[in-house]
Amino acid sequence: MQQQANPSKVWFITGAARGIGLSLARQALLRGDAVAATSRTLASLHQAFGDSSERLLALEVDLVAEASVQAAIDKTVATFGRIDCVVNNAGYGQQGTVEALSDAELRRNFEVNVFAPLHVLRHALPHLRAQRSGHVFNVASIVGFQGGYAGWGSYVASKFAIAGLTETLAAELAELGIKATAVYPGPVRTGFLSKDTLVVAKRSIADYTEAQASLDLHLNGLDGKQAGDPEKVATLILQAATVAEPPVHLFAGKIANTLAEQKMQAVRKDLDAWRGASDSTDFAE
């Protein structure tokens, strides 16, 4: 395939048919960048973006199938010549207590939220490494930093995994001129909490009343009322992509900032309270 003329940046964005991914793709295109936008169906991308253009590459990708991801990365490079920014945005929420979740439910959540981004990284990083440039954005969630929410153990664990992975990536990629950033949005007004998107465990245990209350709140009280604006989160990511020293940890929204502060204070409290006992576990000098 003939390569297109080099735009300002080339973005590879998963989950680009809705939410933050859609907002980011649209804004990147408006400023003259090129975007490879992935979704599970081409129809959803055509509905989101309309007619294709020379700077938009719509890709139907099964992110849990490595061969599908590899083909999408290869087509992006063949079309645009390179990839500058990789955005692992696709994912879904799995609700259910740790005791109630089945092995299949847990594994499916991790397949999409953790192993799919790893597929993307495995095949995108060789191109970034050859360029000695690029920026990886892994969209986690504030629950990937502050995880104290009854009934959300699978989703929280998957986002903590993404956060830890990004910290390691930042350390590994620094010598290659590649940046890595974990994005921690608070509640964002997307379709994430809708009954059509949020997956609820098939099994429910009545004793876990806090988990049920949290589910009811999120489905009936928060869906469509979240404080976060996906357009503004996308603008924040674009801003981070333009600075010389981007953050490894990028929090998005007042709620995310508040919860991050609370988590750091809680960790400090535990650290201080147990420092003497903790220090004593070393061999005596």
Catalytic residue flag (residue 184): no
Count other Cβ atoms within 10 Å, centred on residue 32.
10
Token pair of 116, please? 């799919």
Query: What is the Cα–Cα distance from 237 to 139, expressed in whole angstroms?
Result: 10
Quickly tell me which residue has 């629950």 as its tokens.
143
Residue type, 89: N
Interior CA angle at 122 toward 44 and 85, to 5°? 60
C-alpha atoms less than 13 angstroms from C-alpha of 140 in its C-beta half-sphere: 30
Token pair of 153, please? 């153990």
Going edge to edge, which strands form the sheet with 178-185? 56-60, 34-39, 10-13, 85-88, 134-139, 178-185, 249-252
- Which candidate, 97, 91, 80, 114, places its Cα nearest to that of 18? 91
Set 149, 155, 184, 208: catalytic member: 155
Count other Cβ atoms within 10 Å, centred on residue 163.
20
Within the chain, where are the H helices?
19-30, 42-49, 66-80, 103-110, 116-131, 153-173, 209-216, 230-240, 254-273, 275-279
Measured CA to CA in angstroms, residue 184 lies from 51, 59, 168, 236 at distances of: 32, 26, 16, 11
Catalytic machinery residues: 155
